[in-house]
Amino acid sequence: MPIRVKLGVVLAERNVKSKDLAEFVGITEANLSLLKQGKVKGLRFDTLERICLYLECQPGDLLRFEPTSNAEK
């Protein structure tokens, strides 16, 4: 998928546990794990908001667009 999730990197940089972030955001650890792996179909704005609030970061720090050769214009 062209959208890469860098959440795992940000968590490691800030030394934040997934369990704590999941509890704050209000999602299960399993879903957070799926998000870190980029295996979710979508991300709600309120989830993104709470992640950014907890990690004190911008959405762009968490998501990166890396187009595949088919997706390039």
Position among 9, 18, 38, 43 found at the interface with other proteins (CB under 8 A): 43
Shortest spacing between CB 64 and other proteins, in angstroms: 18
First to last CA, the chain: 16
Is position 16 an interface residue for other proteins (rule: CB under 8 A)?
A: yes
Q: Report the alpha-carbon distance of residue 62 to residue 52 in Å, rounded.
A: 9
Q: Which of 25, 15, 17 is nearest to 47 (CA)?
A: 25
Is position 27 an interface residue for other proteins (rule: CB under 8 A)?
A: yes
- For residue 14, count other CB atoms closer than 10 A to its CB: 12
> Closer to other proteins at the Cβ: 37 or 64?
37
* Contacting residues toward other proteins, per CB under 8 A: 14-16, 20, 24-27, 31-32, 34-35, 40-44, 46-47, 50, 53-56
